[in-house]
């Protein structure tokens, strides 16, 4: 079929070229935004006297009907069209006749696609924000249940100091809270309407861009028409925020995988979120967490491709920019799917408190507390206290015991400053309770963090 833009050429393009050129198969998902944009455009054109009220009514009614038919599944985006914009216009003209051809007055697909993308991405990002908030709420609940659950905290993946599991979970809640706020910041910058920038230079028609923007719920308009049609910062910035979300989920997944292993056995995932092996009968694998970790790479890839697509593009629109869609859509779909499986996986996991506690008791993670006790109670300079505590650890290793069980004579042999009270100071419950500095791991501090995060939600 000859193209709508036939004129300068006969519009009879090669079928393979058509297929290569078409974006309808993937930009069809923006039909809602495209139609809403066109409805606002028709209303604005009539308001400015550029088309008649009755023409605008016909356009708007036709557009609503197309929207309804698409929503109800009576109509599907025809993927043989060049893109969703052409599809809607073609369908409208087929339904209402020549009046349909007036819709594209004072606009171009260049500002139209920029508009649709901004609207679509703002809608999608709002869903992701909601899902993040649900996950954060789950983390707060789990952290509350585990505000007294002692586990080893790690540095270099070596047992370092005792913490409570609730504290560990709240670290992720803080990351995800920043992710939500990043999406909010992104929205503020994306919330400017490009429609009316037209092909690149604005228009000779007496349009009202601000009216159109406010009908669509935008808070502002893009103030330079060249920038309005050629800017894809909002795609890149969103991809970067999605990448950071995935990086957080991936780190969390890595810990879930470690904690589920026989080596750690800190948690057990619900059967609903694990798989077995086709050959090894004993296996219970954390595939969901591994996939989330893996899919992080995919989202990073989309960010990298978009940065690369935009690099070196001259102003204004270039067809290269049609490549924005699949990557951003895939990144959104990926983050959505990951959150859909990750949140219930966390909500249903069992915390193996005794194993966490046991691991905390075995790793000399109270050695800092022993040194701190010498400093605070006996006035031993910290650097000296650190050395003495280190010697006690070495003694324990030699005797195959732990600091809590090392006899007082052994301590005395290291330094006469040691006395019976040291045992109270290195008790793990005491160790975490005493880390009551703001943001520390004490149960009270964890409860304060939960309160703060819940208020933010
Ligand atoms: N499908 C196109 C895209 O996604 C719409 C804009 C087409 N503009 C043009 N001048 N060919 O970028």
Q: What is the pLDDT of residues 213-252, one digit of tens each?
A: 999 999 999 999 999 999 999 999 999 999 999 999 999 9
Residue nearest to atom 2 of ligand 1 (CA): 322
Buried-state track 125-144, b at ≥16 Cβ within 10 A, e below 16: beebbebbebbbbbbbebbb
Q: How far apart are CA 2 and CA 6, in angstroms?
A: 6
Residue 243, classed as helix, strand or coil, is: helix
DSSP string, 214-232: HHTT-SEE-S-HHHHHH--
Q: Comparing 15-105 with 110-140+154-358, is the CATH topology the same?
A: no
pLDDT value, residue 279: 77
**For the structural domain made of 15-105, what CATH number should be given?**
1.10.275.10
- 156 is a catalytic site residue: yes
Distance 307 CA to ligand 1 centre (A): 19
Q: Is 231 exposed, middle or buried (0-12, 13-18, 19+ CB in 10 A)?
A: buried
Is the CB of 139 inside a 6 Å radius of any atom of ligand 1? no
Report the pLDDT value the prediction gives residue 1, as an integer from 0 to 100.
63
Q: What is the CATH number of domain 110-140+154-358?
A: 1.20.200.10
* Interatomic CA distance for residues 224 and 432, integer angstroms: 57
Cα(79) to ligand 1 centroid in Å equals 15
C-alpha–C-alpha distance, residues 83 and 274, integer Å: 41
Is the Cβ atom of 322 under 6 angstroms away from ligand 1? yes
Ligand 1 near 113 CB (within 6 A): yes
Instruction: Say if CB 211 and CB 221 are below 8 A apart.
Output: no
Pairing of strands 158-164, 150-155: antiparallel
Structure confidence by residue, pLDDT tens digits, 328-386? 999 999 999 999 999 999 999 999 999 999 999 988 999 999 999 999 999 999 999 99
CB 109 less than 6 A from any atom of ligand 1: yes
Distance CA 24, CA 127 (A): 24
| pLDDT for the residue numbered 277 | 78
Can you give the pLDDT at residue 247?
A: 98
Whether ligand 1 lies within 6 angstroms of the CB of 83 is answered as yes
DSSP string, 142-192: HHHHTTT-EEEEEETTEEEEEEEHHHHHHHHHHHHHHHHHHHHHHHHHH-E
Supply the residue whose CA is at minimum distance from atom 12 of ligand 1: 322
Q: Which residues of the chain have a pLDDT value below 70?
A: 1
Which two tokens mark 132? 């993040």
**What tokens appear for 171 in the block?**
């670290």
361-456 placed in CATH 3.40.50.300:
no
| pLDDT for the residue numbered 57 | 98
**Predicted pLDDT at 5:** 78
What pLDDT shows up at residue 370? 95
Question: From the CA of 326, how far away is ligand 1's center (Å)?
Answer: 14
pLDDT score, position 387: 97
Distance 322 CA to ligand 1 centre (A): 6
CB 393 within 8 A of CB 404: no
The alpha carbon of 108 and the centre of ligand 1 are apart by a number of angstroms equal to 9
From the list 119, 64, 105, 107, the residue with the least C-alpha distance to 88 is 64
| Domain ranges for the chain | 15-105, 110-140+154-358, 361-456
Tell which residue, 265, 199, 193, has the closest CA to residue 234. 193
Candidate list 261, 270, 277, 436, residue with the active-site label: 277
CA 110, 112, 113, 115 torsion-angle sign: positive
Q: What span, in angstroms and rounded, lies between the C-alpha atoms of 420 and 442?
A: 24
Q: Which ligand 1 atom is nearest residue 83's CA?
A: 1
Quote the pLDDT of residue 248.
Answer: 98
């Amino acid at each position: 079929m000859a193209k709508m833009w036939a004129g300068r050429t006969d519009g009879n393009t090669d079928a393979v070229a058509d297929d290569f050129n078409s974006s309808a198969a993937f930009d069809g998902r923006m039909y809602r935004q495209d139609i809403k944009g066109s409805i606002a455009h028709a209303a604005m054109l009539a308001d400015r006297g550029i088309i008649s009220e009755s023409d605008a009514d016909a356009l708007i009614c036709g557009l609503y009907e197309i929207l309804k038919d698409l929503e109800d599944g009576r109509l599907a985006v025809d993927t043989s069209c060049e893109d969703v914009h052409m599809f809607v216009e073609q369908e409208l003209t087929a339904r209402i006749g020549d009046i349909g051809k007036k819709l594209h007055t004072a606009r171009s697909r260049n500002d139209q696609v920029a508009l649709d993308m901004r609207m679509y991405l703002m809608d999608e990002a709002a869903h992701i924000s909601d899902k993040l908030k649900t996950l954060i709420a789950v983390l707060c609940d789990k952290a509350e249940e585990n505000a007294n659950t002692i586990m080893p905290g790690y540095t270099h993946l070596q047992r370092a100091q005792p913490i409570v599991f609730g504290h560990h979970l709240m670290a992720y809640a803080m990351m995800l809270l920043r992710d939500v706020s990043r999406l909010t910041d992104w929205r503020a910058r994306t919330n400017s309407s490009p429609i009316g920038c037209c092909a690149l230079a604005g228009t000779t028609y007496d349009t009202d861009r601000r009216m159109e923007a406010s009908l669509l719920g935008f808070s502002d308009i893009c103030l330079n028409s060249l920038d309005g049609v050629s800017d894809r910062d909002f795609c890149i910035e969103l991809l970067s925020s999605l990448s950071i979300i995935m990086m957080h989920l991936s780190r969390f997944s890595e810990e879930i995988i470690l904690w589920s292993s026989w080596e750690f056995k800190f948690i057990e995932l619900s059967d609903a979120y694990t798989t077995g092996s086709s050959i090894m009968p004993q296996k219970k694998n954390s595939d969901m967490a591994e996939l989330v970790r893996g899919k992080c790479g995919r989202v990073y890839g989309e960010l990298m491709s978009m940065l690369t697509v935009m690099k070196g593009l001259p102003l204004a629109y270039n067809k290269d920019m049609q490549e924005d869609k699949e990557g951003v859509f895939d990144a959104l779909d990926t983050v959505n799917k990951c959150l859909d499986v990750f949140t219930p996986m966390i909500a249903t996991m069992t915390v193996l408190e005794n194993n966490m506690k046991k691991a905390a008791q075995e790793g000399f993670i109270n050695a800092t507390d022993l040194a701190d006790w010498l400093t605070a109670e006996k006035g031993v300079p910290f650097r000296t206290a650190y050395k003495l505590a280190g010697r006690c650890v070495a003694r324990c290793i030699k005797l195959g015991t732990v600091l809590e069980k090392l006899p007082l004579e052994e301590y005395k042999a290291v330094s006469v400053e040691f006395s019976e009270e040291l045992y109270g100071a290195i008790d793990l419950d005491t160790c975490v309770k005493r880390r009551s500095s703001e943001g520390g791991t004490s149960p009270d501090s964890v409860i304060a963090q939960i309160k703060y995060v819940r208020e933010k939600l």
